[in-house]
Amino acid sequence: MRPSHRAPDELRPVRLTRNYTMHAEGSVLVEFGNTRVLCNASLEPRVPPWLRGQGQGWVTAEYGMLPRSTHSRMGREAARGKQGGRTLEIQRLIGRSLRAVVDMKQLGERTLTLDCDVLQADGGTRTASITGGYVALADAIQHLLDRGELKQSPLTGLVASVSVGVYQGTPVLDLDYAEDCNAETDMNVVMDDQGNFIEVQGTAEGHPFSRDELMRMLNLAEGGIFRLIEAQKAALGTA
Amino acid sequence: MRPSHRAPDELRPVRLTRNYTMHAEGSVLVEFGNTRVLCNASLEPRVPPWLRGQGQGWVTAEYGMLPRSTHSRMGREAARGKQGGRTLEIQRLIGRSLRAVVDMKQLGERTLTLDCDVLQADGGTRTASITGGYVALADAIQHLLDRGELKQSPLTGLVASVSVGVYQGTPVLDLDYAEDCNAETDMNVVMDDQGNFIEVQGTAEGHPFSRDELMRMLNLAEGGIFRLIEAQKAALGTA
Amino acid sequence: MRPSHRAPDELRPVRLTRNYTMHAEGSVLVEFGNTRVLCNASLEPRVPPWLRGQGQGWVTAEYGMLPRSTHSRMGREAARGKQGGRTLEIQRLIGRSLRAVVDMKQLGERTLTLDCDVLQADGGTRTASITGGYVALADAIQHLLDRGELKQSPLTGLVASVSVGVYQGTPVLDLDYAEDCNAETDMNVVMDDQGNFIEVQGTAEGHPFSRDELMRMLNLAEGGIFRLIEAQKAALGTA
Amino acid sequence: MRPSHRAPDELRPVRLTRNYTMHAEGSVLVEFGNTRVLCNASLEPRVPPWLRGQGQGWVTAEYGMLPRSTHSRMGREAARGKQGGRTLEIQRLIGRSLRAVVDMKQLGERTLTLDCDVLQADGGTRTASITGGYVALADAIQHLLDRGELKQSPLTGLVASVSVGVYQGTPVLDLDYAEDCNAETDMNVVMDDQGNFIEVQGTAEGHPFSRDELMRMLNLAEGGIFRLIEAQKAALGTA
Amino acid sequence: MRPSHRAPDELRPVRLTRNYTMHAEGSVLVEFGNTRVLCNASLEPRVPPWLRGQGQGWVTAEYGMLPRSTHSRMGREAARGKQGGRTLEIQRLIGRSLRAVVDMKQLGERTLTLDCDVLQADGGTRTASITGGYVALADAIQHLLDRGELKQSPLTGLVASVSVGVYQGTPVLDLDYAEDCNAETDMNVVMDDQGNFIEVQGTAEGHPFSRDELMRMLNLAEGGIFRLIEAQKAALGTA
Amino acid sequence: MRPSHRAPDELRPVRLTRNYTMHAEGSVLVEFGNTRVLCNASLEPRVPPWLRGQGQGWVTAEYGMLPRSTHSRMGREAARGKQGGRTLEIQRLIGRSLRAVVDMKQLGERTLTLDCDVLQADGGTRTASITGGYVALADAIQHLLDRGELKQSPLTGLVASVSVGVYQGTPVLDLDYAEDCNAETDMNVVMDDQGNFIEVQGTAEGHPFSRDELMRMLNLAEGGIFRLIEAQKAALGTA
């Protein structure tokens, strides 16, 4: 039995609260159980130097944890003077995942920056960031459509993400912190609404996993992401 | 008339939400109107190297703004690789203000770190941080008392803070962003519940202020801080 | 047809040259075609602070590219003052992969650091690093066994890695730079000699991949890794 | 009685030596007793990026202490790789204070940078920096007038600064290091030659101060600054 | 007798392998005995900002040691976040030495960057870098001549370098690590093919040297550099 | 004729002012003409980690230029976040030069740090730093002898330094900035009072120098250093 008493294929309660803060073009608080991430999408009418003059846009992401979002206080990255490897890895993953559903030509010479800041961590902060980040992104794009700055949405689909793992020999969906710490294997899966994979990142430092376990984890992820995409559509009123 | 339509001596609505996140020993969301700061107080059973073995504790603070807490997105300090001068100045102010009401001997060899992270900014983030931070600090100390780790509270009083300024020639209390941008003078005042001053920081880059204006600003601040301390007591259930 | 004229399941020529430099306890030049990485394994009789006194060892990795290992010169990370996100991500991956086949208790209070420095890049530098790094690691451990510092090898298996991708609709093995640039999907797979997965990292920024494509890529990877492990055994004289 | 045997309202001997070094457009060694700060004003015919094309100038300041300007040697900030919070706070204060008496339109598209480097510290380095810095600034502006690059002085007044504090219950003026260490309260006041306040920064980490103490400290500061402005005028030959 | 059993005026075996890697315009592995440095010369069609529009080029160098090029592992400079003083000193020396034989007007608005990366260190890495670097530089310039981008070579001569020292009272040539550690005096000499000096850097931390010792060291250096220049010519096929 | 109208073998006026500041154990303002460097020697009763427990001391140096010590303002290294290559090179040279005349065993487990801060630069700041730094060092050691903390001086000799160069074909002594900029060759020489060399650093980026020119420059340097050592003895009252 899982520490969370959930069934192996059961997600934690998911909440997507739009317009959580007032300045960002898209602002979503995403909750996967006790994990809470504030996803703010910002629009800027320019692109990075290496993209200038090509008539296309850019989508990027930054990720951070508040120092006391975790069980014991972590040092503040701004005070330490650099972002750690885990932070950089996560924000690169979020950026790639969102770019997979945006047509950069259609977006035009604009940068969409998604800031994912973890207010409270209980496992799955990167998957929550992608899932909530998509909704913030959709709101920021709607903002452009509403003001007539874009005629047509550059979004080519929806994207969501969930973790899966093997806990005491059983593949389980959406691990919380207690489960994640004791999982033998941990995999983050990102998929679009066509059921295709955008990212598959499985790690088995302690216990290598077999082809069969991989398949069973992917099945769980597929089911979970389908439900997360439903939650995104409901939140956006497009269900 | 103020942009906010408030009377000159009128505070914005103040809200202090305790237990806002689950891991910190004290966690308070403070709102001064649209300004929202998450204040997390963390306890650690050790002190900085220069205090070791002296049988006393330490209280310190860190401050940060989420990149899109502001009208236009600010660069993330962790990504830029250092905290700016304004950030360091504010976190030093918060630390000094809170240390003024803590008996370090009584606290014992512990460090209390207050993290003030601005979720949404609309002027007065440092004064909100001090005011909300005090409540988080009180909760963290109550946590020690409840667990029997401390016999007696090291708190020697309450502390709160508010800004005052001169707006179109009239001294006004608790400036929001629109007022702050156009104020001729800007002052942050920190006081304790005995009506004494802990910090007075007045700045008049554009328009030097007279002794008379100073007095009128201090009067406004005194009144505002009195009401903020009432709000702190109400939140803590000690009113 | 692939730019390299190889069959879809064909590896580039693999060369593993041991004792490539004279100071390191294990020193291997690994070549996957034109990709050349120098893998040096260093032993130090201490562990990081967070592991001290637990009677176990640590394996970690660092990765770097010489500035002109690539088509056009890249800025030197030491001169820029920090390692980029890609570098950190790769060295974390190499470290996890090697730790998966080392029994840390058996290793004892020692740190094994693997430095992977790319002399010439033509795609697949991280997979070559893992594959060649394992051989350097094995040599460093043999060094301990030969001197009687260890009675029994802490190695629990072999580990190797290869990339797979979808090139013009066809899954292909071991992409070189020209193929990698134009691949729709790119996946790095790390496996042990039992045929289990240690890492699976698939990325599809441009073209999401289906379950079927994933399976076909994993099949290719499995075959390639089997052959790489044969090459490792041959190099170590344990085939 | 004060450690310095001065009367409560007595300044230390003040010396302002112009043309102290030969390259800067304004170069003043200011001495407040044993405190010695070299203030060099440099002119550059450009403004920071955010001011370009607006037909106005900028005044900014940098502050540093030589490592052995103090009782025991401090680490060199250049070697540590960053300026500390106290340094940034002081240089921001100096910059704001000087900007308060310069008409930026009149200055035109030029930057005036004031470097304040402490050769010997004995309390009051920031107030000496502002007081001496004004004289260096005036010399740099005279340099522009003399060469016909400016027709009219952009200076709108004089500015000087002094510290006040409460020492053993008595408000005292211009604290030296021995007094500052033991003062219960410490306040830095910046005023112009009209008797208006530009900055008031009072800090009472140990002993909150009353309204009455504040008034008495401001009275002392007012008297001291009046005399410092006389000294500035005498040095500039405009008394 | 020298630890290396060489005669006092005997160089270690020198090897210059051209085209060692495939991307750089000039790529030379230089070996002075067991010291091995990879010298890659890169061409870029632009100059640093301070040289723009002057119709002349620039030659610069960067130097690094692989972490395990040495007896015990050194920390990676990229991970530590800065290049050490020794590294900066050496790369400045290499840059100056090469610039001494290049006519910058003739080179035109191009930058030639020489990367010297030490694969294996056994003393004399800086002198090997200069000696091998010259050959890489010559190859990069030939590359421009071959493609018709330059009509005439900007090279004005050849340059090579060797170390000399006083070992147990006897001046010796080309010190290896064991000799260098125990030498009383250490000097690096850079000369051109006219027999003139470009750099003379003698250091005698332990044992100041006399004019006579200096003369005898310079004689040895002169003989060694003559032979190194012969080796460069042979490698370039211009002997 | 030299821009300074000096004879080729003529030093600039040299001034050594002891006790220039009040906190340092040795504090000397050294002037070589218009070049002015403040040399402060600080004693600390500990050694760097790599020397602990070996019963010997350490001597090290740090060097900095005030931003406006030069013709046009240089960026402050503390603000830029790192010391440049030239700074590191000079402070390493100063440290080595002083260590050459100190018996580390005799010094005992103490660190002597020499801070050389350039107040005004007109060429020769590194040679002035060594020459003045020696006097500050001697004062700091006398401080230890006076207080009975040392029984016997660890100084084994005197050390001084001067620059020489070839200006319009003529070897000249002690170049000022105008001469240095136009010199074809530039050499810094450090010698002890026995007439032996401690450092010889000759650089000829523009015009390689012959053996004959080298000899003539060394002759000039020898004469100059002899007179500088006389000046040191006079300043210390040991002439």
**CA contacts within 13 A on the Cβ side of B155:** 19
Chains with 3+ CB–CB pairs under 8 A to E are: C, F
Binding residue ranges of A for phosphate: 86, 124-126
Asked whether residue F238 carries a pLDDT value surpassing 90, the answer given is no
Position F204 scores a pLDDT of 86
- For range F114-118, the mean pLDDT: 98
C interface test, pick of A91, A164, A199 with most C CB neighbours within 10 Å:
A199
**Chain A residues touching chain C at CB-CB below 8 Å:** 82, 84-86, 88-89, 91-92, 96, 99-100, 187, 191-192, 194-206, 208-211, 214, 218
- Spatial separation of the C-alpha atoms in residues A174 and A37, rounded to whole Å: 15
Token pair of C197 as six digits = 């997965």
Cβ contact E205–F99 (<8 Å): yes
The edge-to-edge listing of strands for the beta sheet with A159-167 is A170-173, A159-167, A185-192, A197-203, C197-203, C185-192, C159-167, C170-173
Which residue is closest to C184 within chain A, CA to CA?
A: A198
Cβ contact A205–C92 (<8 Å): no
% of chain E with per-residue pLDDT over 70: 100
Cβ contact C78–E77 (<8 Å): yes
Cβ contact C40–E87 (<8 Å): no
- What is the nearest CA distance from C20 to chain A, expressed in angstroms? 29
Cβ contact C100–A208 (<8 Å): yes
- What is the nearest CA distance from E25 to chain F, expressed in angstroms? 24
| Residue D114 φ/ψ, nearest 5 degrees | -105, 120
Q: What digits encode the pLDDT tens for the residues F27-55?
A: 999 999 999 999 999 999 999 999 999 99
- Spatial separation of the C-alpha atoms in residues B130 and D223, rounded to whole Å: 33
Position E36 scores a pLDDT of 98
Asked whether residue B7 carries a pLDDT value surpassing 80, the answer given is yes
Cβ contact D44–F73 (<8 Å): yes
Q: What digits encode the pLDDT tens for the residues D200-224?
A: 999 986 789 999 999 999 999 999 9
Is F124 annotated to bind a ligand? Reply is yes
- Spatial separation of the C-alpha atoms in residues E98 and E190, rounded to whole Å: 10
Asked whether residue B61 carries a pLDDT value surpassing 80, the answer given is yes
| Among the partner residues E96, E194, E209, nearest to F196 by beta-carbon distance | E209
| Among the partner residues B38, B72, B83, nearest to A78 by beta-carbon distance | B83
Token pair of E137 as six digits = 């530089």
Q: What digits encode the pLDDT tens for the residues B136-145?
A: 999 999 999 9
| Among the partner residues A21, A44, A78, nearest to B78 by beta-carbon distance | A78
CA A63 → CA A85, A127, A151, distances in Å? 12, 12, 30
Chains with 3+ CB–CB pairs under 8 A to F are: D, E
CB-CB neighbors (< 8 A) of A86 in chain C: 92
Size of chain A in residues: 239
% of chain D with per-residue pLDDT over 90: 94
Size of chain F in residues: 239
Cβ contact B68–A119 (<8 Å): no
CA A229 → CA A59, A195, A226, B50, C211, distances in Å? 20, 10, 5, 53, 18
CA B46 → CA B63, F148, F193, distances in Å? 21, 39, 54
Is D110 annotated to bind a ligand? Reply is no
- Spatial separation of the C-alpha atoms in residues F196 and F101, rounded to whole Å: 12
**Chain A residues touching chain B at CB-CB below 8 Å:** 21-24, 27, 34, 36, 38, 40, 42, 44, 62, 64, 66-73, 76-79, 81-83, 87, 113, 115, 117, 119-121
| Among the partner residues D42, D67, D73, nearest to F68 by beta-carbon distance | D42
Q: What digits encode the pLDDT tens for the residues F169-179?
A: 899 999 999 99
Binding residue ranges of C: 86, 124-126
Helices (H), chain B: 77-80, 85-99, 104-107, 125-146, 177-182, 211-236
| Among the partner residues C42, C44, C119, nearest to E21 by beta-carbon distance | C119
- What is the nearest CA distance from D13 to chain F, expressed in angstroms? 17
Which residue is closest to D222 within chain B, CA to CA?
A: B211
Cβ contact A115–B76 (<8 Å): yes
Size of chain C in residues: 239
Which residue is closest to E69 within chain C, CA to CA?
A: C23
Chains with 3+ CB–CB pairs under 8 A to D are: B, F
| Residue D118 bridge partners (DSSP) | D37, D65
Q: C-E interface: how many C-beta pairs under 8 angstroms?
A: 93
Q: What digits encode the pLDDT tens for the residues B163-207?
A: 999 998 899 999 999 999 888 889 999 999 999 999 999 998 678
Token pair of F117 as six digits = 């801060």
Tell how far CA C71 is from the center of its chain.
22
Q: Between residues F181 and F102, which one has the greater pLDDT?
A: F102
Token pair of E91 as six digits = 């790369």
Q: B114 near B137, Cβ under 8 Å?
A: yes
In a 3-state reduction of DSSP, which class is residue E5? coil
- CA quadruple C221, C225, C226, C228: dihedral, nearest 10: 140
CB-CB neighbors (< 8 A) of E100 in chain F: 204-206, 208
- Spatial separation of the C-alpha atoms in residues E53 and E49, rounded to whole Å: 9
Token pair of A77 as six digits = 């990255």
In a 3-state reduction of DSSP, which class is residue A238? coil
- Spatial separation of the C-alpha atoms in residues E122 and E117, rounded to whole Å: 14
Q: C14 near C231, Cβ under 8 Å?
A: yes
Position C189 scores a pLDDT of 98
| Residue D18 bridge partners (DSSP) | D28
Q: Between residues B239 and E155, which one has the greater pLDDT?
A: E155
The edge-to-edge listing of strands for the beta sheet with D58-65 is D14-18, D26-32, D35-44, D111-120, D58-65
Domains of chain B (ranges, CATH numbers): 14-236 (3.30.230.70)
Helices (H), E27-120: 77-80, 85-99, 104-107
Tell me whether residue B5 is exposed, middle or buried, using C-beta atoms within 10 angstroms of its C-beta: 0 to 12, 13 to 18, 19 or more: exposed
Q: A201 near A94, Cβ under 8 Å?
A: no
| Among the partner residues B38, B40, B76, nearest to A64 by beta-carbon distance | B76
CB-CB neighbors (< 8 A) of D200 in chain B: 187, 200-202, 214
Cβ contact D202–B204 (<8 Å): no
Position A95 scores a pLDDT of 97
Token pair of E233 as six digits = 């010519």
- What is the nearest CA distance from E19 to chain C, expressed in angstroms? 12
In a 3-state reduction of DSSP, which class is residue E62? strand
Position F222 scores a pLDDT of 97
Cβ contact A197–C211 (<8 Å): yes
- CA quadruple F223, F229, F233, F238: dihedral, nearest 10: -80
- For range A47-56, the mean pLDDT: 94
Tell me whether residue C218 is exposed, middle or buried, using C-beta atoms within 10 angstroms of its C-beta: 0 to 12, 13 to 18, 19 or more: buried
Cβ contact B23–A83 (<8 Å): no
Q: Between residues E168 and A42, which one has the greater pLDDT?
A: A42
Residue E184 pLDDT grade (very low, low, confident, very high; cuts 50, 70, 90): confident
- Spatial separation of the C-alpha atoms in residues E213 and E193, rounded to whole Å: 24
Q: What digits encode the pLDDT tens for the residues D72-95?
A: 999 999 999 999 999 999 999 999
Question: What value does the mean pLDDT of chain C take?
Answer: 96
Asked whether residue F206 carries a pLDDT value surpassing 90, the answer given is no
Residue A204 pLDDT grade (very low, low, confident, very high; cuts 50, 70, 90): confident
**pTM higher than 0.90:** yes
- What is the nearest CA distance from C36 to chain E, expressed in angstroms? 9
Cβ contact B82–A78 (<8 Å): yes
Question: What value does the mean pLDDT of chain F take?
Answer: 96
Asked whether residue F195 carries a pLDDT value surpassing 80, the answer given is yes
| Among the partner residues D38, D82, D120, nearest to F119 by beta-carbon distance | D38
CB-CB neighbors (< 8 A) of B91 in chain D: 85
- Spatial separation of the C-alpha atoms in residues F49 and F47, rounded to whole Å: 6
| Residue A59 bridge partners (DSSP) | A112
Position C101 scores a pLDDT of 96
- What is the nearest CA distance from E119 to chain F, expressed in angstroms? 23
Q: A181 near C197, Cβ under 8 Å?
A: no
Pairing of strands D159-167, D111-120: unpaired
Position E111 scores a pLDDT of 98
Q: C129 near C30, Cβ under 8 Å?
A: yes
Asked whether residue E202 carries a pLDDT value surpassing 90, the answer given is yes
Question: What value does the mean pLDDT of chain D take?
Answer: 96
Q: B27 near B41, Cβ under 8 Å?
A: yes
Residue E19 pLDDT grade (very low, low, confident, very high; cuts 50, 70, 90): very high
Residue E182 pLDDT grade (very low, low, confident, very high; cuts 50, 70, 90): confident
Residues 6+ apart with CB under 8 A from F188: F93, F126, F127, F161, F162, F163, F199, F200, F201, F202
CB-CB neighbors (< 8 A) of A206 in chain C: 100
CA A2 → CA A11, A34, A210, distances in Å? 12, 16, 21
| Residue F76 φ/ψ, nearest 5 degrees | -75, 125
- For range C82-94, the mean pLDDT: 96
Residues 6+ apart with CB under 8 A from E134: E98, E101, E158, E159, E160, E232
Q: What digits encode the pLDDT tens for the residues A80-129?
A: 999 999 999 999 999 999 999 999 999 999 999 999 999 999 999 999 99
Cβ contact D208–B200 (<8 Å): no
- For range E109-125, the mean pLDDT: 98
Which residue type occupies C98? L
Binding residue ranges of B: 86, 124-126
Asked whether residue C111 carries a pLDDT value surpassing 90, the answer given is yes
Q: What digits encode the pLDDT tens for the residues E47-101?
A: 999 999 999 999 999 999 999 999 999 999 999 999 999 999 999 999 999 999 9
Cβ contact C214–A194 (<8 Å): no
Is D125 annotated to bind a ligand? Reply is yes
% of chain F with per-residue pLDDT over 70: 100
D interface test, pick of B99, B130, B184, B211 with most D CB neighbours within 10 Å:
B211
